[in-house]
Amino acid sequence: MSPARFTFRALCLLVIFAALLFSAGRGFTQNAPQPAASPFDKLKFREIGPATPSGRIDDFAVLESNPAVFYVATATGGLWKTLNQGTTFETVFDNESSSSIGDVAIAPNDANMVWVGTGENNNRQSSSWGDGVFKSTDGGKSWKNMGLRESKHIARIIVDPVDHDVVYVAALGSLWGSGGERGVYKTADGGLTWSRVLGTDENTGVTELVMDPSNNKTLYAATYQRRRSAWGMNGGGTGSAIYKTTDAGRNWTKLTRGLPEGPMGRIGMDVYRRDSNIVYARIEHEKESGIYRSEDAGASWTKMGPTNPRPMYFSQIRIDPNNDLRLYVLGVSLHISDDGGKNFRADGAQKIHVDFHAMWIDPNNSNHTMIGGDGGVGISYDKSKTYVWLSNMNLAQFYHVSYDFKTPYTVCGGLQDNNTWCGPSAVRSADGIGNDEWFVVSGGDGFVALIDPTDSRIIYAESQDGRMSRIDRVTNERQTIRPEPPEGEKPYRWNWDTPILISPHNPATIFVTANRVFKSADRGHSWKVISPDLTTDTNRDELELMGVKGKETKIARNDGVGSYGNIVTFAESPMKAGIYYAGSDDGVVSVTRDDGGKWENVTSKFPGLPKNTYVSRLAPSRFDEGTVYATFDGHRLSDFGTYVYASRDYGRNWQSISGDLPKGQVVRTITEDLKNPDVLYLGTETGLFASFDRGKQWMRVKGNLPTVPVYEITLHPRDNAMLLATHGRSIWVLDDLTPFQQFAKAREKDAWLFDTLSATQINPAGDRMRDFQGDMQFLGKNPEIGAKITYHLKSATKNLAIIIRDSGGNVVREFSGDKVKEKAGPGINVLLWDLRVEPLPAPRAPQGGPGGGGGGGFGGGGLGGPFVMPGQYQATLRIDGKDVASNTFSVVGDPDITIAEADRRAAFDAAMDLHKLQKKFSDASESVTALNERLRAMQGSLKDNKDAPEALKKKIEEFAKKFQPVGAQFGIAMADPFVTGDFSVFTRALRFRISGLKGGIMSSTSRPTETQMRQLPEVKAALDKAIQEANALISQFPALQKEMADAGIYPAAVKPIK
């Protein structure tokens, strides 16, 4: 997103008279209403970031005729497009069915034709999956699913450079199971139909596909046999191989000469652009992994060297398009060879995040490269020696999000391969929440980060496999507190994402889980084991993947899965201490009601649940001691079903509450509402759902949320806010849950006014330094300043009004007519009152002179009124002239400012006097502007009239001379100070004296200064004098009109100022 920007002229105005900005207020605009797919579509979540760590990148598609235009394919954050070399981006895939992009391709001769393959190609335990291939013919503005929806993971797409209706797709197939759509698929009709032109077996897909740059009929395909499960990975088999076609896919030849024999793993390939006989392959093998080169178009191969870092996860190899001996091998580091793969060094890309998955090299300039990894995108202009890192892509893959009770509250969470971060939910800067507002609390892959609710300097954070610490936020000291077994006991089995819990009953009590549950009563200083092994305790070495036992797996064995049989979700009842629920990665659910004295295995009580299904969340009720909710995630068993359950008897019996959820919604988390026990929230692989009847029916909640995995839903109890930990688009916040909490009642009525939260008056601060830092900035959204008046309409209405009254019943604002016509559609609507009195109407701009609002001048002098006095206010919803609902809410002053009531009242009264004076000025300027326009018309007519008497011309010119100083007071026909350099106009011109004084008082929550109070009667007197002088000229104007009429010119009369 782009930050607020100022022109130099506006910046100078700010420097000279910063207060003017505050009087303008902050308006609320909304696009014209569209037919709502959901009643909640008009609710807006805040995208708060951060973009500092970014997230995993899978691929690039660059428009070679203009490399400033490119697309970025991300692991779970959708597709991003830039037109200016990454200075700014727009997201172009937010509303499709998948956010995981395996590959993106631009048609070579049609920049508007873009193909996307969904489902990433990186085989990680956290990898998401896709929904086939998509096509755009308008540069990413709209998309159509073109099929191959059972492919799950797309590794590569190639658009034929001669015939764009011919497209090849490398379909890798499910990471977690057999079957589906695997192999090389080809279409000759732009995706209407597909044929599989290369396929092997049910466990093998295609992980790489490259085309001969000199012959569009010749392609190379690397097949890949692999399988993951919750317990491990088998990353190779006899299905992995290299194939070649020379007839556009009709026939394929397996290439073997010089390549390793026996099972292979993942293979990466590239063809040299200047000589297509030169082909490189990066091959994973039990004994002969490394870089292989062919100089006869694949007929034979020579091993160049052993370099091949973690190919299961990386495996990309790139040839410099202008030097076949310079190779780039992507891994944790960027490995570079200048001798064809014999030797590599890892001294490139040293100052950006490691773990690289994508690379592009400019074919016309090998110095220009682009690289993508787990931390985002880097661009180099010196052959990867140095990189510019793009800090404007909020792609963070959060696992969890938590909060504290500061005002505004802090949020913390852990990210995939990008540390654990904390940052503010809001800042005072008018620009928004910058990356520099966030700070790292823990390294590695970040997961749970919890802030002590009674002492916000204490943070508990966990990195992979239970490596947890207690951190002092002030000193940054950290104490390792992971429980360890006594000498002679078996090691504990920790999950990659280890649960940590602060007891809701005692903040000094914390829990952590491995295969057993540990409890500490002293913030982790000491631990007590309170459970037996709560898993199946299965020996994964005896489990099979693709017919091979775990202990016999030779390639990528159990990559990324440190252990199996561990607790992955844990919760304590908020209603009663000592009631705990635990769920494991092998599908075991256990319950204790006596602080761990006795545990009951209730795994068999879930109807319709396949055995060993991963328990994704257990959520005890906030309202009923015996109620608990459970969700399960079966995708690790290649089961993409939807499993949501509820128990009303402490887990003894369970009922499915999946209800009418769409098929294929793999569920990550469930949360019960803070205030209404009937309301549930569900996070899935594609977004957010809500139920208003405890799971009988569900509704997708979209609003402005992109399609993205929602890993955790956290509700802030003080602020009644929802925090979403998205795994691909950072953290999103919904500031008010009231519409969800009252929706069941609202939808039964023709109109419903939701309760309005207390609103806080804040003067946002300008941050001019951000305006000197260029456009490559991400700025998270602050809460809108004001009271959100939220209401539900069963059907659209044309006669709507919102009236705001103070505690005495006086109307302070009314929104009707054009102000609410875009907020009168069916569903939930939101109107923002900025907590100010009625603004002034916008005056018409004059004709001639420098121009500006308020009857001339240079803009400035905002129309917004002062903040109302803090207190109780009432909002009333009026439809067709009838008041149908009202509520009362509080307006509170800035909590960071202490001010006496008398001083606040003095500032309000002075600002209101100036607000009224500004209105008087505006009305007067209308007449003065009209007089100026008639005068200019007279002058123009006389200039062209050769027969006009000289005496008349002289009178008009004399009148114009008298008008000039009067008009200047109203900002008419002044010399532009940005041209002349004479900025004294801001202290001379009455317009700026009034608006500047008003803005100065409104810009500070304090008693007006003595100078300001002295200036107030001065500007009143000056305005009265200016009006008197203007009226004198207006009274003289009819005589001039008569003489003009005698000359055949009949200008309209100017009305005196009242």
Q: Is the peptide bond between 50 and the residue preceding it cis, with omega within 30 degrees of 0? A: yes
Same domain, yes or no: 23 and 157: no
Kindly list the strands in the beta sheet with 478-480, ordered across the sheet, starting from the edge strand earlier in the chain: 449-451, 458-463, 467-472, 478-480
Q: How much is the pLDDT for 792? A: 98
Angle at 314 between CA 309 and CA 315, to 5 degrees: 80
Same domain, yes or no: 111 and 152: yes
Is residue 891 within 8 A of residue 759, CB to CB? The reply is yes
- Three-state DSSP at 552 gives helix
- Three-state DSSP at 15 gives helix
> What whole-number distance in Å separates Cα of residue 111 and Cα of residue 388?
26
Residues 6 or more apart in contact with residue 1056 via CB below 8 angstroms:
927, 1031, 1034, 1035
**pTM (2 d.p.):** 0.92
- The neighbouring-strand residues paired with 873 are 806, 889
> What whole-number distance in Å separates Cα of residue 716 and Cα of residue 721?
5
Extract the tokens encoding 964: 């000039």
Residues with pLDDT less than 50, the chain: 1-36, 846-861
Burial of 237 (0-12, 13-18, 19+ CB in 10 A): buried
Same domain, yes or no: 548 and 641: yes
Is residue 423 within 8 A of residue 50, CB to CB? The reply is yes
Q: How much is the pLDDT for 33? A: 36
Same domain, yes or no: 625 and 533: yes
Domain membership of residue 210 (yes or no) is: yes
Domain membership of residue 237 (yes or no) is: yes
Same domain, yes or no: 122 and 15: no
Kindly list the strands in the beta sheet with 204-211, ordered across the sheet, starting from the edge strand earlier in the chain: 204-211, 219-225, 241-245, 253-255
DSSP 771: G
Residues 6 or more apart in contact with residue 1041 via CB below 8 angstroms:
1050, 1051, 1053
Backbone angles phi, psi at 804, to 5 degrees: -110, 125
Same domain, yes or no: 13 and 74: no
Provide the domain count of the chain.
3
> What whole-number distance in Å separates Cα of residue 653 and Cα of residue 520?
30
- The neighbouring-strand residues paired with 1004 are none
Same domain, yes or no: 495 and 638: yes
Domain membership of residue 245 (yes or no) is: yes
Same domain, yes or no: 848 and 994: yes
Is residue 55 within 8 A of residue 395, CB to CB? The reply is yes
- The neighbouring-strand residues paired with 549 are 544
Of 615, 633, 656, the last residue of a domain is 656
Same domain, yes or no: 976 and 835: yes
Which segments of 668-728 does DSSP mark as H helices, in order? none
Of 614, 635, 656, the last residue of a domain is 656
Of 621, 656, 691, the last residue of a domain is 656
**Which CATH number do you get for residue 226?**
2.130.10.10
Domain membership of residue 506 (yes or no) is: yes
Is residue 627 within 8 A of residue 616, CB to CB? The reply is no
> What whole-number distance in Å separates Cα of residue 558 and Cα of residue 312?
11
Domain membership of residue 579 (yes or no) is: yes
Same domain, yes or no: 903 and 1013: yes
Is residue 159 within 8 A of residue 115, CB to CB? The reply is yes
Domain membership of residue 591 (yes or no) is: yes
> What whole-number distance in Å separates Cα of residue 685 and Cα of residue 535?
25
Q: How much is the pLDDT for 96? A: 98
Backbone angles phi, psi at 1020, to 5 degrees: -60, -45
Domain membership of residue 333 (yes or no) is: no
**482-529 pLDDT per residue, tens:** 999 999 999 999 999 999 999 999 999 999 999 999 999 999 999 999
DSSP 176-227: SSS-SS-EEEEESSTTSS-EEEE---TTEEEEEEEE-TT-TT-EEEEEEE-E
Same domain, yes or no: 900 and 805: yes
Domain membership of residue 429 (yes or no) is: no
Domain housing 559:
490-656
Same domain, yes or no: 25 and 164: no
